[in-house]
Amino acid sequence: MTRLHNRPEDFADEMIEGFVAANRRYVRHVPGGVVRSTRSPEGQVAVVIGGGSGHYPAFGGLVGQGLAHGAAMGNLFASPATGQVRSVATAAQNGGGVLLTYGNYAGDVLNFDAAQEELRAAGIPCETVTVTDDISSAPAVEKHRRRGIAGDLTVFKAAAAAAEAGYDLPEVVRVARHANERTRSFGVAFTGCTLPGADAPLFTVPEGRMAVGLGIHGEPGIDETDVPTADGLAELLVGSLLAELPDGVAEARGARVVPILNGLGALKYEEMFVVYRRIAGLLEEAGIEIVDPHVGEYCTSFDMAGTSLTLFWLDDELERLWNAPADTPAYRKGSVVAAELDEIAEATDAAADAIPEGSAESRRAAATAVEAIAAIAAVVDANVDELGHLDAIAGDGDHGIGMQRGAHAALAAARDTADAGAGAGTVFARAADAWSYRAGGTSGALWGVVLRSVGEALGDEHAPTRDAVAAGVRSAANGVVAYGKAQLGDKTMVDALLPFAESLEREIAGGARLAGAWSTADSTAATAAAATADLLPRMGRARPHAEKSLGTPDPGAHSFALIVHAVGEVLVGSTDEGKEHEHA
Ligand code: ADP
Ligand code: MG
């Protein structure tokens, strides 16, 4: 239960404001997150971390000397948008290039990868290492597919200490990869978590039961058992982790290991100490030399009651980097030589740049665009719980709230932009930015691509022709495929979007009017979305729990079908139908 909030949709922003106000010695606010408020040496590699909010101290709490240079902070449990990552990395860099490092989740990968491309295009060398410590999320042979949980800390710490020691970008990357290879975690949960304003937990664990291998956003676990004793839990955690030694560690006996017992938010430190007592005993019995153990909260999951154990298998270099001093809001070690405060004025979110005026025809189309986006927001509102439930079956349950945040932000931006005299192209472009910024996550980024593509096709000059609309939808489909790399049959929104685009093109090429063509395409999308129930997901957060989703349609494909249907109703009622015909 989250008891204290104002408007729930403002929660993440207000949390960041308060966090910065309380920690100016360490951090300053930049659009998209925070960077160190202290000056870093010229040429030092910048380590930029990030992810959704709701995991404090991950990620903003780990920014400061000896640890991260910046953190992109997304909305609650939602990846930061591409623009946010780019903005934070640009503010954090010191001329030595940027390492992006974060937990391996589909939405984060999508947005951080896109930001990496944009940074490189801007002349900033940039590399990425994703953290994949959670052994329950994929088998060892597929380690690259595993998600990142509390093991983030060891990778961030080693990479940042290397940067601080003057390593260049390829060397920092090497260290980060090596630290990730030598970090393994395993977790359990006893209750779900409830996001601010929500009246039900995101997921639940039955009373007296324990979800084994549950993800930090409620992604389903691999097993469920009765809650064991504290000693029993220690045995499960240690046993699971010792069953998979990292490459390069021949045997547990004699190895030097940092154990991190991480609380997920609602577990008491005292309970964790009781568990740790037995963990330490078991590690010693296995002949492991325990180094610098950590018991506390390093990556939480809102108010979830649960815990994970991370083992970080040291070698000389990693041990030296781990022991280097650090001073951040939530993580301190040794004593750093305090750096000077940077005198840069606090930046708030990007100043709005001027809105180009649209032609009279395009301004009329902009009014229809606003209506269409209002219809999208309304249909998402009406189905928000169902979308969340569909996503909770094999994903993380945030599809409804993510789409809702995105659609409403897009609507507000579209209204403001249209009121300022913009044409349809600019209205869609601003709506696209607002959607991807506010929604975060995979679907937020992809709906940003969709709206942006449609806006580019329509432009601000002419009344939209049906050919321009079909071309916009086609380019949206191509853009989503290029960005998300999913193919037909992977059980994503692509399975509804591609058939929709093809059907719309076919109908229009055959001479149909826009509203009629759209309605045929809309039926095609509905059928295709329903048919995703028979598919196994191969992309996104749902992938580790593929078989659980058989029989349920993909949430993103389903919301796509709902949305195009709602937009179709606006097109039927739109007075542009006659004009669109003249121009076609
Ligand atoms: P997240 O996966 O970040 O939690 P959402 O829950 O909002 O984001 O959206 C999940 C939906 O996103 C999935 O149901 C799927 O339709 C879509 N999706 C996930 N990955 C991809 C991808 N690579 N390409 C296209 N669509 C994707
Ligand atoms: Mg989701």
**What pLDDT, on the 0 to 100 scale, is given for residue 219?**
82
Neighbours of 495 (CB within 10 A): 25
Confidence grade of residue 582 (pLDDT, cut at 50, 70, 90): very low
Kindly state the average pLDDT of the residues 148-176.
Answer: 98
Confidence grade of residue 583 (pLDDT, cut at 50, 70, 90): very low
Distance between CA 331 and CA 309 in Å, rounded?
A: 18
Kindly state the average pLDDT of the residues 116-137.
Answer: 96
Nearest-atom number in ligand 1 for the CA of 441 is 3
Confidence grade of residue 440 (pLDDT, cut at 50, 70, 90): confident
> Which among 276, 269, 257, 270 is positioned nearest to 300, based on CA atoms?
269
Question: pLDDT for 198-212, tens place per residue?
Answer: 888 888 899 999 999
**What pLDDT, on the 0 to 100 scale, is given for residue 574?**
78
Nearest-atom number in ligand 1 for the CA of 105 is 3
Query: For residue 399, how many C-alpha atoms fall within 13 Å in the half-sphere facing its CB?
Result: 30
Kindly state the average pLDDT of the residues 348-373.
Answer: 84
Is the preceding peptide bond at 156 cis, omega within 30 degrees of 0? no
Mean pLDDT of the chain: 93
Which CATH homologous superfamily contains domain 8-332? Dihydroxyacetone kinase; domain 1 (3.40.50.10440)
Distance between CA 188 and CA 224 in Å, rounded?
A: 9
Kindly state the average pLDDT of the residues 467-485.
Answer: 94
Question: How much of the chain exceeds pLDDT 70, in percent?
Answer: 96
Q: Is 120 exposed, middle or buried (0-12, 13-18, 19+ CB in 10 A)?
A: middle
**What pLDDT, on the 0 to 100 scale, is given for residue 198?**
84
**What pLDDT, on the 0 to 100 scale, is given for residue 541?**
65
Which CATH homologous superfamily contains domain 360-574? DhaL domain (1.25.40.340)
Q: Identify which of 75, 203, 399, 554 to mutate to test ligand 1's pocket (most ligand atoms within 8 A of the CB).
A: 399
Q: Judge whether residue 429 has pLDDT over 90.
A: yes
For residue 533, CA distances in Å to 47, 393, 453, 488 come to 41, 12, 28, 14
- Known catalytic residues? 217
Residue located nearest, by CA, to atom 9 of ligand 1: 443
Protein residues with CB under 6 Å of any ligand 1 atom: 79, 106-107, 391, 395-396, 398-399, 402, 441-443, 446, 480, 484-486, 492-494, 539-541, 554-557
Question: pLDDT for 306-324, tens place per residue?
Answer: 999 999 999 999 999 999 9
Which of 70-74, 542-546, 556-560 has the lowest average pLDDT?
A: 542-546
Centre of ligand 2 from the C-alpha of residue 289, in Å: 40
Stated pTM of the model: 0.81
Centre of ligand 1 from the C-alpha of residue 540, in Å: 6
Question: pLDDT for 223-244, tens place per residue?
Answer: 999 999 999 999 999 999 999 9
Residue located nearest, by CA, to atom 6 of ligand 1: 399
For the chain, the domains span: 8-332, 360-574
